[in-house]
Chain A
């Protein structure tokens, strides 16, 4: 702790600017900027290979950045690694366990190496995640290995949780348990960096979101902020024909079919379009906010088009 600089609550949990990292000729991070405030759950979204894991491993001091600045809880992740690691917990996306140690032994070991965990909390988490801690590491499925790392991290009393696609392999029931645990962590004042491509998860948990693509942050803000940048889908049944809406600014893809009309509208033009729609005697109206899929589609649309129906966003 002696080497760790002041870490008051005023310092952001994570502060990265212009971070760069190359692997030979491959650019992993290309000037990445990221700020995560204390106490927030920050969604870190992007497709595989965008640089999410590289960023997190630099924050852990496992990799060294080529240039740029990264601060974790006010400290230097490379120089102050050990001091910082007492205050944070990490869950990798692909957990490997020691084949000869049981899950319970691995949980205790990882938690103790971090500075110890509350045994009661550990047992409670084992029960909630429905994990049998007496099985040997080599016998666990991917989902169960993931649970071991999650329990070890959540049982520790830390300020920051770095979670790199932590629920890959968990079933929906366990996903729900995970979400409850993250909300509890937030209520306890912990900061969470949640890297994910499970959009529903980020939507449900994140206060703010950063979207990373090809080693750069391309969008950052609250879900509301980002929705302003996108279109709302509207479906309505009107007494009078609604074809004229197509002429309004910010309205796209109008498909009128008798009394029914469907269209998309840019966030900033929504108020004007809604007023006009009201004048057409609306009988029924459905308006859907953009999903994160649509947010991502906007950023990765070109790649998706090339993927030719592969449909995989992340």
Chain B
């Protein structure tokens, strides 16, 4: 009936439309596109929290365990990687979960928002799809509005899931609801930030990169603030992550800091709308920076190109390992104190009670070896992507030989492995020396890390062989890394037989300083790596290049 009644005026009214026309349709379309991504993100964050709950309940089973944790987490290092430390004088599991591990859930929600908003705004414009959409009956602000609505829905879902999970785990209902809301509010704040950054740059990666940098700055600001004073200082209050943590769920249960988050989200989103009205579709407010018109003189060989293509990754990994190494290193003393009365199984992984320090440092070296092995595999996968995306073809059509091309790439990665293990050992060593006051640890840690190089080289060589012979099978190399991790970390707990343990290339060199470095193993692994790499080159020489 209404339809019939309004029909005479419909043409004029419907034709005019507003800046928001089409928002609903776009939102439904985004939900359809994200039908896998949306549950993956929201459930993923909830599952991470569920994991924390289960793990901490196992590790911190007794009040004594909790008291031991409180001392460790209340330290400045604990505050940097945890939070302002509300309620640590009478620590409970839920206070510890919200106060120490909640930080990573907040960061997760922030990342989810940054990537979701970018995906549905700037990435759409960059791909040209937004042009098609905007040519339809769609208002100027519909896309941004629909993207922000979607992100708000996702954050609300995360908030509800976390709240439900926590109260379902038997924790206080009101506190659980507040904790969930704090997670959602942090997510909203970074959706607002991304609404601005998406207007600035033409490239999705630049837009999400800037928003990600703001997220990182928010993390660091509240970290410094929380280290400066118990319950945080004024610096903590400059960070959207800080606001969520200042709700002090399960302790003070105050809601008002979330008002700051919501206001921040509203103001940033409004600014995003304002900026988007001042630019053309697909253009950025910051014009793209031109690069050099000519290549640097050194960029003139296959090896130089291999280095140039891996340079950004090498710098990024170096920085990440530097930060990770330093922070793990700085944890050395608190960890040893904190775990002094941990369960026997946990101690066994670290090398036993007698030599906790050497055990912890040796284990860290092994962990860094796995991390650098991930770098090695990713770099080979990058090489495969170069080929499948059609960039290897023009290079091999020049006077660059196949063998030389693959050898150069492997050499760059192999040297990168050595360099990254050195950086990780150095950072770990500096941190551990500062933490324990024992300067001798610096040299031990550098040696202990670098010693793992041949094992990682063997992983790299196997990856190269798969790439050279059967590129589609390249992901199989992850099996070695994962198997090595399981054996390396859990062999004592899982009672894995020695014969199975010895299958892992990471188990032969020795976890220095707990164990001695085995020279025969080092030589044998290096020789094996060289042999396998040689086979990889021979196989690559014989196969067809993948052409699109």
A residues lining the B interface (CB < 8 Å): 53, 57, 60-64, 81-83, 85-86, 90, 92, 94-98, 100-102, 104-110, 112-115, 119, 132-136, 138-139, 149, 162
Contact = CB atoms under 8 A, between A and B. Distances in A.
B401 to A, nearest CB: 4
Contact of B291 (A82, A85, A86, A105): A105
B398 interface: yes
A81 B293 contact: no
A113 B302 contact: yes
B299 A96 contact: no
B305 A133 contact: no
Nearest to B296: A105
Interface stretch (B67-75, B385-393, B412-420): B385-393
A3 to B, nearest CB: 11
B391 A63 contact: no
Contacts of B203: 138
B291 A135 contact: yes
Contact of B300 (A92, A102, A112): A112
Given A63-B544, A63-B545, A102-B291, 11 more contacts: A61-B396, A62-B397, A81-B402, A85-B397, A85-B398, A101-B295, A105-B292, A105-B294, A109-B299, A110-B394, A132-B290
B437 interface: no
A104 B399 contact: no
Nearest to A134: B290
Contacts of A105: 291-292, 294-296, 299
Contacts of A133: 293-294
Contact of B401 (A81, A106, A149, A162): A81
A62 B544 contact: yes
A5 to B, nearest CB: 17
A56 to B, nearest CB: 9
Nearest to B546: A62
Interface of B: 202-203, 288, 290-296, 299-302, 305, 308-309, 312, 389-391, 393-402, 542, 544-545, 547-548
A136 B312 CA distance: 15
7 pairs of A and B residues whose beta carbons are closest in the complex: A108-B295, A134-B290, A102-B291, A113-B398, A104-B293, A96-B390, A90-B397
Given A113-B399, A113-B400, A135 B394 contact: no
B288 A108 contact: no
A114 B398 contact: yes
Nearest to A82: B401
A139 B399 contact: no
A113 B401 CA distance: 10
A139 B544 contact: no
A155 to B, nearest CB: 12
B389 A96 contact: yes
Nearest to B391: A96
A139 B390 contact: no
Nearest to B404: A82
A63 to B, nearest CB: 5
A117 B305 CA distance: 17
B295 A112 contact: yes
Contacts of B400: 82, 85, 113
* Most central of B288, B294, B395 by chain A CB within 10 Å: B294
Contacts of A113: 300-302, 305, 395, 398-400
A232 to B, nearest CB: 40
B547 A62 contact: yes
23 contacts: A60-B396, A61-B396, A62-B397, A62-B545, A85-B397, A85-B399, A94-B548, A104-B291, A105-B295, A105-B299, A108-B294, A109-B295, A110-B395, A110-B398, A112-B295, A112-B301, A113-B302, A113-B400, A134-B290, A135-B290, A135-B291, A138-B203, A139-B202
Contacts of B293: 102, 104, 133-134
B294 A139 contact: no
A23 to B, nearest CB: 9
Contacts of A81: 396, 401-402
Contacts of B548: 94
A95 B394 contact: yes
A64 B395 CA distance: 17
Given A95-B394, A109-B305, A134 B545 contact: no
Contact of B547 (A57, A90, A100): A57
Contacts of B308: 101
B291 A134 contact: yes
Contact of A139 (B288, B300, B305, B542): B288
Contacts of B544: 62-64
A53 B312 CA distance: 33
A97 B302 CA distance: 16
Contacts of B390: 92, 94-96
Nearest to A148: B394
A157 to B, nearest CB: 13
Contacts of B396: 60-62, 81
